[in-house]
Copies of this chain bind each other. A is one copy, B any other.
Amino acid sequence: MMNKIFIILVIIGLPLSVIGSLLHWSAVIMFAIYCLTIIALAGFIGRATESLAIVMGPRIGGLMNATFGNAVELIISIFSLKAGLIGIVLASLTGSVLGNLLLVAGLSFFVGGLKYKRQSFDVYDARHNSGLLIFAVVVAFVIPEVFSASMNETDTMILSIGISIILILLYIAALVFKLVTHRGVYTNNNEDVEKKQEEEVPEWGKIKSIIVLAASTISVAYVSENLVHTFEVVGDTFGWTELFIGVIIVAIVGNAAEHGSAVIMAYKNKMDVAVEIAVGSTLQVAMFVAPVLVLLSLFFTTSMPLVFTWAELISMVTAVLLMIRISVDGDSNWFEGLVLLAAYVIMGIGFYLL
């Protein structure tokens, strides 16, 4: 049923997105069309990822999903960097971290928890990820903020570049650890779960899944880019500040693909994949997208230091502390989802008023 609605939305929304953008229709109308189209495309990404997750195991499936979801963000941010909109880039990085940790994980825990009384996920992965969240957000983002207060611009930029290189190297090391040297070392607890999942029949084959995933992601990227250009008018119309658009709107729309599939996974009780999407995507934003953007910014006219506003930084740090406390036991329920969502709403109100 939902799948049919998504097919219809894409069949109608995608051409309308192209036509409307060429014919310069009203920005507010296009905003709605773009959003619905992306949500529908997210449905396809969800199904394709799920099929691939069954074929390739929950970890690689989740990793791929995070990659495809963040490709969209990376593209949007590069265009923004080119235009010198550093504030928007940092705000949308913040928004991705908050959106993934609080909104995506919160919705997954909440929706999954409405169906299942208790859901569990890999406690080793949760611990591994929590260490990286502390490293990336609490160490690598906080240090330049505090140190730059008594540094000149050049030294701040050198520190930012140094931290960015270390973040990327550690991100690569994390992949080596997970996929090569310690593949399967920390999974004695849920062997049975994995066995069960391996026995499941994927909806689509490997090739079809990859084609759908690629086509959907490219379409999402195309539509997202157009969407960005409607933000100014929509912001003026609805009274949204630049910061609010960066942190909340770009993040929700830019991560819609992941939202969709994470919640679907949670509803199907595949919490390992849902958590991997939410937290894995956060880590990819913090340890890969953010530092890559810092380094890429060196080739543009305005270089971007890894220095957030205090409101952005404290939001991310408190979100990380909350998510770790809630996820580190490898157990979730509707209430824990609600706590994460409530934190997201509080920060949303804050950024709206700022």
Contact = CB atoms under 8 A, between A and B. Distances in A.
B353 A311 contact: no
Contact of A159 (B318, B326, B349): B349
Nearest to A144: B350
B353 A185 contact: no
5 contacts: A134-B325, A146-B314, A149-B310, A177-B334, A185-B333
Nearest to A137: B318
Work out how many copies of this chain go into the complex: 3
A321 interface: yes
A174 interface: yes
Q: Counting chain B CB atoms within 10 Å of each CB, which of A166, A319, A339, A343 scores highest?
A: A339
Interface in A295-347: 310-311, 314-315, 318-319, 321-322, 324-326, 329, 333-336, 338-339, 342-343, 345-347
A132 B349 contact: no
A247 to B, nearest CB: 12
Contacts of A181: 117, 334-335
Interface of A: 117-118, 127, 130-132, 134-135, 138-140, 142-144, 146-147, 149-151, 155, 158-159, 162-163, 166, 169-170, 173-174, 177, 181-182, 185-186, 310-311, 314-315, 318-319, 321-322, 324-326, 329, 333-336, 338-339, 342-343, 345-347, 349-350, 353-354
A311 B150 contact: yes
Contact of A325 (B130, B155, B182, B335): B130
A151 B346 contact: no
Contacts of A346: 139-140, 143, 162-163, 166
A335 B172 CA distance: 11
Contact of A147 (B127, B143, B333, B350): B350
Given A135-B339, A143-B314, A143-B318, 9 more contacts: A134-B318, A135-B343, A139-B346, A143-B315, A143-B350, A147-B353, A158-B349, A159-B353, A163-B349
Contacts of A322: 131, 134-135, 138-139
Contacts of A347: 139, 143
Q: Counting chain B CB atoms within 10 Å of each CB, which of A132, A151, A158, A349 scores highest?
A: A349
Contacts of A339: 131-132, 135, 170
